[in-house]
């Protein structure tokens, strides 16, 4: 007697924008739980008066369908907007190497696209990006701090890529560093 195949877990990525970060997170996490979905990952950031929440939930196809159906009513009731996309699990890349690039510079509007183009040209995948601007207290000039978590493809010669990145940063007058990713909590 054979056992029936296990149902394949599916994923839903929800991006939501709202004014109240705690309510936004609470409403969507509660809805996931009530619809028998598990929260796999979530990121919340505040941008001025608006909060952006990205939530990945997992579940059976019918649980995800219930979650999708519930979202329009929840977004209307709690005054937020939501977009939903079905997703697959990220494929395993055991030979890829996670690295972090830190960049500080006087703000220019082209810095982020130049950084992205550098990594595209070197077949490096972007995993996450955080970028903030602030007024330097000493000069009053606008500064930019960016942190990019990237994945180097298998076979990348790390010393060569690091040299390329530092030369690139010097050419754009960026203070930059690229180093292996390390867990925050050892």
Overall number of domains in the chain: 2
Q: Give the separation between CA 42 and CA 62, rounded to whole angstroms.
A: 21
List beta partners, residue 16: 53, 82
Give the C-alpha separation, 32 to 16, whole Å. 14
Q: Note whether residue 92 is domain-resident.
A: no
Domain that holds residue 28: 10-87
pLDDT of residue 19: 95
Per-residue pLDDT of the chain (186 residues; tens, 9 = 90+): 444 444 567 999 999 999 999 999 999 999 999 999 999 999 999 999 999 999 999 999 999 999 999 999 999 999 999 999 999 887 777 788 999 999 999 999 999 999 999 999 999 999 999 999 999 999 999 999 999 999 998 889 999 999 999 999 999 999 999 999 988 775
How much is the pTM?
0.81
Q: How far apart are the first and last CA of the chain?
A: 46
The reply to whether 123 and 163 lie within a common domain is: yes
Are 80 and 142 contained in the same domain?
no
Q: Please tell me whether residues 114 and 83 are part of one structural domain.
A: no
Do 108 and 82 lie in a common domain?
no
Residues 62 and 136 in one domain: no
- Among the three residues 65, 87, 109, which one is the final residue of a domain in this structure? 87
Q: What is the spatial distance between Cα 160 and Cα 10, in angstroms, rounded to a whole number? A: 39
Indicate if 70 and 129 belong to the same structural domain: no
What's the pLDDT at 1?
46
* CB-count exposure of residue 103 (10 Å: 0-12, 13-18, 19+): buried
Which residues are bridge partners to 45 per DSSP?
Answer: 52
């Amino acid at each position: 007697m054979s056992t029936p195949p296990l149902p394949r877990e599916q994923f839903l990525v929800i991006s939501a924008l709202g004014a109240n970060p705690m309510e936004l997170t609470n409403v969507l996490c509660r809805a996931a739980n009530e619809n028998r979905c598990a929260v796999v990952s979530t990121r919340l950031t505040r941008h001025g008066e608006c909060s952006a929440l990205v939530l990945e939930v997992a579940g059976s196809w019918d649980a995800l369908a219930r979650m999708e159906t519930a979202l329009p009513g929840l977004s209307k009731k709690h005054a937020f907007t939501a977009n939903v996309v079905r997703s697959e699990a990220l494929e395993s890349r055991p030979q890829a190497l996670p690295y972090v690039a830190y960049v500080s510079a006087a703000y220019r509007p082209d810095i982020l696209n130049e950084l992205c183009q550098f990594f595209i040209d070197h077949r490096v995948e972007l995993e996450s990006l955080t970028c903030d601007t602030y007024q330097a207290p000493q000069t009053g000039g606008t500064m930019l701090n960016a942190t990019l978590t990237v994945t180097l493809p298998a076979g990348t010669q790390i010393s060569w890529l690091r040299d390329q990145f530092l030369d690139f940063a010097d050419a754009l007058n960026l203070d930059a560093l690229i180093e292996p990713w390390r867990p925050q909590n050892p």
